Chain A
Amino acid sequence: MPRYLRNLIFGLIVIGILFGLDFVFQAGLINPYYTRILMLCGISITMAVSLNLINGFTGQFSIGHAGFMAVGAYSAAYFSVNYGTSLANSLGGGKLGWVVALALTTLIGAAIAGIAGLAVGIPSLRLRGDYLAIVTLGFGQIIVVFLNNIEAVGGARGYSGIPIVKSFFWIFLIAVLTIVVVYNIVNSAFGRALISIREDELAAEAMGVNTTRYKVMAFVISSAMAGAGGALLAHFDGYLNPKSFEFIKSFEFLIMIILGGLGSIVGSVIGAIVLTILPEGLRGFAEYRMVIYSLLLIILMITRPQGLLGSSDAFKGFRKRLRRLTEGPSGTASSATQSETSVGGENPR
C-alpha cells in the first residue's frame, strides 16, 4: 500500500475515533468532572510534546514555554471576543458554527505564537545552555508583564467574556496533530539535524548544518503548537489572567517532559497525563502537592535523569508493527534508524 494512502486512512480513522469520543463525552454521558480533566490532559499533551521538540530533541533549554501559550491564548481570545460570534453565526450558528470558529481562532493563536517564537528565537538561540534558559525565562516574564499592561485584553484584571467552547474533538485533534508533526519531524532529515545539534552543536556546525536556522525553525514550530494549546485553553473557562502564565507554568511543562523522558514523545504524553491527573488525585494533600513535586523532581534527577521512558522511544516498535501490518512480509524497511543517546550523558560546554 503506498505510504500516503496508508497515512490518509490512518488519519481518517483517528478523526473518526475523535468524532465518536467527542459525541460520547459532550453528550454528558460521562461525568463532566472526568471530561474536564481529560480535556485538560489533552491540552497538556500538546504543550508537553511541543516543548519536547525544543528541549528534548534539539537539546535547547527553553523555559519560557508558558509565554507562547499566553500569546496564543490572548490572540485567539481577542479574535473570538471581537469576531467570534459573527463568525460562528455566519457558519450557521449553533454548535457546529462555534466549533469551526474555534478551529479558526486556534489557527490564529498558533500563527501569532509562531511569530512570537520567531521574534524570541532569533536573538536567543545564539546562546547556549544555561544562558538560553535564563533568556527564555526572561522573555516569558516580559510577555506576562506586557499582558498585565494591555488594557484591551483586560490587563491585570484578566480577560473575561471569552466564549466558552469546550471541544473534545479539537483539543484532541490538536494533540494528535502535535504528536504527529513532532514525530514526523524527528524522523526526517530535519529531525536528524536537530538531534545532531543536540549531541554536539559545534560538530554539527562544522559538518555544514546551519544550526541557527534549524534551531529557530524548531522553535517557531514549537511555539506555534504552544499557541494552539493556549488558544484552546482560552476557550475552556472563558477567562484568562496573565498570572496563570508565569514561569511556574513553564516549570510544570518542563517537569512533564523530564518525568516522561526528554527524548521521548510517548514519555511526554505520559508525563503530561500523570501531572495533570496527579493534582486531582492528591486533592487530599493539596498543601503538600508542590513539595511532593519538587522532591520528585530532585529524586528523579539524581536517580533517573532520563525520565520514565528515557532514551528509547516506544513508538519505534509501534511503527514497525504497523508497517508489517499493512505491507506484509515483503515490505521494504526504508525508515532511517535513530540513534537517540541518553540526555544524561556528559555534555561539555
Chain B
Amino acid sequence: MKRILIASIVIAGLLSACQPQSSGGDKVRIGVFMSTTGSTANFGISSVNGIKMAADEINAAGGINGKQVELLVQDDRSDSQEAATIVTKFVTQDQVHAVIGEVASSRSIAAAPIAQNAKIPMLTPSSTNPEVTKKGDFIFRSCFIDPYQGAAIAQFAAKTLGAKTAAIMVDRKNDYSTGLEKVIGATFTKFGGKIVATQSYQEGDQDFNAQLTSLKGSNPEVIFVPGYYNDVGLIAKQARDKGITVPLIGGDGWDSEQLYKIGGTALNGSYFTNHYSPFDTEPKVQKFVNDYKSRYGGTPDALAATAYDAANIMFDAIKRSKSLSGPDIRDALAATNAFPGVTGTVTFNQNRDAVKPIVMIEIKDGGTYAVRERVNVEGAAVASNQ
C-alpha cells in the first residue's frame, strides 16, 4: 500500500509540473513546433532559427501594434503523436494566438485537426503534401505543394535538359519523397519521357551501391533523387564512384549547407528545385543572408528562409487582424496579398496554399548555387490542388 502511495505522490508531482509555459500577459503568443532532433534535425533547427530571427527583428522594431511577440518553441522529436500533443498543449494550456509548424507533412497532418478544432490558425512553412491544408480552413501553408514541385522538376528535365529517359531513386520511408516521385513520374511521361528504372532506399541508409549498380544498367539520361540532403550527398558520391556521370535532379529536400559537405564534387552539375537561393543578388535576400550569417554563423538554407517568411507573414496578418482572436487572425491571413518575402511574393489561394515562384538551382563547383531557371509549370493552374 505504501508503495502505491509513493507512486501516487510521484504522479501528482509530475502532473503539477505540467504547467503552462508562461502566464498570460500582454504579448502575442505564437506556438512553434518543429523537430530539432533526429535525422532531419537540420531542417527543424534552421526553421526555428529563421522564426526566432524574425521575432527578434519585429520585437526590436516595437512589436506588433505595440505588443511584443513571444515564441513558445517545442521539439516534437520527429514523432507525429508528440506533435499532436504539443499543439494540444499550445491551444489549451499555453493559450497561443497562432501556431507555426511543422517541416514534415506527416507531423503537420497529425497536428492540423487539433489547431482546426480549437480555431487557432496554423501556418506551415515547408510541408508540401497537399493533404495538410485540406484539414480545415484554419490551416495555411506558405510554400509550394508537391504536385507543383514535382511537375517543375520533371518539366525541367524533359524540356530544358531534353532528357528522354530517366531513372528515379526514391526514399520509401519518407512521405515527401514518395509524394514527389509519383508526380515526377507522371509529368515526365506526360512530356514524352520514359522512366526506365526505379530504385528505392530508406532514409538513413548508408549503402546505396546495390541500387546504383542496378540503375546504371538501364542507362538513364538523368536520375531523379527527390530525397533529403543527408542521403542525397552520399548517393551522389557513391553514384560517381560507380561511374554514373549523368546529372541528378531533386527537390527542396536537398537544400542544406551539409549537402555539399557530404557529396562534394560529386554534386557538380546536378540540379534541385528550391524556394530561394542564398546567392540571389536581390537586396532583400542579401540582407537576410547577411543578418542570418552574423547571427548564426552559417548560410541560411531554404527552410530558414521559408520559416523566416512564414513568421513574418503571420506577424503581418496579426497586425492587420481586427483582434487577437483565432478567427480574426485567420481571416487576415487568408487576405494576405503579394506579401514580399525573402522566398518570393506570397499570396494564398483558395486552398490556403501559397502561390509562389519556384527556382531551379544548378550546383556549381565549390558548392555555390546558380539560379538556372525560374520554372513556370506548364498547364498547372496557379492553384495546384491535385
Contact = CB atoms under 8 A, between A and B. Distances in A.
CB–CB under 8 A between A and B in the complex? yes
Nearest to A155: B178
B109 A270 contact: no
Given A160-B109, A281-B17, A308 B3 contact: yes
A277 B11 contact: yes
Interface string B165-207: 0000001111100110000000000000000000000100000
Interface stretch (B77-85, B231-239, B260-268, B289-297): B77-85
A274 B91 CA distance: 24
Interface string A137-165: 00000000000110000011110110010
B7 A239 contact: no
Given A36-B88, A277-B14, A237 B113 contact: yes
A164 B113 contact: yes
Contact of B75 (A37, A156, A286): A286
A32 interface: yes
A186 interface: no
A266 interface: yes
Nearest to B8: A270
B173 A148 contact: yes
A239 B89 CA distance: 18
A157 B18 contact: no
B361 interface: no
Contact of A157 (B4, B74, B106): B106
Given A156-B178, A277-B14, A281-B14, A237 B106 contact: no
Interface string A271-301: 0011001101111001100000000000000
A156 B110 contact: no
Contacts of B7: 270, 274, 308
A129 to B, nearest CB: 28
Nearest to A164: B113
A165 to B, nearest CB: 12
Given A237-B110, A270-B4, A277 B15 contact: yes
Contacts of A277: 11, 14-15, 18
B124 interface: no
B93 A237 contact: no
Interface string B342-375: 0000000000000000000000000000000000
B92 interface: yes
A66 to B, nearest CB: 12
B92 A157 contact: no
A287 B37 contact: yes
A33 B89 contact: yes
A270 B5 CA distance: 11
Contact of A156 (B11, B17, B81, B175): B175
Nearest to A144: B173
Contacts of A308: 3, 7
B209 to A, nearest CB: 20
B14 A157 contact: no
A33 B96 CA distance: 13
Contacts of B15: 34, 277, 281
A37 B106 contact: no
Given A273-B11, A278-B14, A314-B4, A156 B84 contact: no
Given A287-B75, A314-B3, A156 B109 contact: no
A32 B88 contact: yes
Contacts of A208: none
B175 A237 contact: no
A160 B179 CA distance: 14
B40 interface: no
A64 to B, nearest CB: 19
A36 B17 CA distance: 16
Interface residues of B, number: 42
B331 interface: no
Size band of the interface chain A makes with B: 35 or more
Q: Per DSSP, are chain B's interface residues mostly helix, strand or loop, or mixed?
A: helix
Contacts of A161: 131
Interface string A30-68: 011110110010000000000000000000000000000
Contact of A148 (B106, B113, B129, B172): B172
Nearest to A160: B109
A243 interface: yes
Contacts of B110: 237-239, 241
Contacts of B78: 243
A160 B131 contact: yes
A160 to B, nearest CB: 5
Interface string B57-86: 000000000000000001101111100110
A236 B84 CA distance: 10
A158 B175 contact: yes
Given A155-B172, A281-B15, A31 B80 contact: no
A244 B173 contact: no
A247 to B, nearest CB: 14
B178 A283 contact: no
A266 B81 CA distance: 26
A164 B179 CA distance: 24
Chain B CB within 10 A, most for which of A33, A160, A270, A273: A160
Nearest to B176: A157
Contacts of A160: 109, 131
Contact of A32 (B92, B106, B173, B178): B92
A274 B106 contact: no
B92 A33 contact: yes
A270 B175 CA distance: 36
A309 interface: yes
B277 to A, nearest CB: 29
Nearest to A259: B7
Contact of B93 (A31, A40, A244): A31
Given A33-B93, A36-B85, A237-B110, A158 B3 contact: no
Contacts of A286: 74-75, 77
Query: Sorted from nearest, which 10 A-B pairs have the closest CB atoms?
Result: A157-B175, A281-B17, A281-B14, A33-B92, A239-B110, A270-B7, A237-B84, A277-B14, A156-B173, A280-B18
15 contacts: A32-B91, A34-B15, A36-B88, A40-B85, A149-B172, A157-B179, A237-B80, A238-B110, A239-B109, A241-B106, A274-B11, A277-B11, A277-B14, A280-B85, A314-B1
Interface of A: 31-34, 36-37, 40, 148-149, 155-158, 160-161, 164, 233, 236-239, 241, 243-244, 266, 270, 273-274, 277-278, 280-283, 286-287, 308-309, 314, 317
Given A164-B113, A314-B4, 20 more contacts: A31-B93, A33-B18, A33-B88, A33-B89, A34-B15, A40-B85, A155-B172, A156-B172, A157-B105, A160-B131, A236-B81, A237-B114, A243-B78, A244-B79, A273-B11, A274-B11, A274-B14, A281-B17, A314-B3, A317-B1
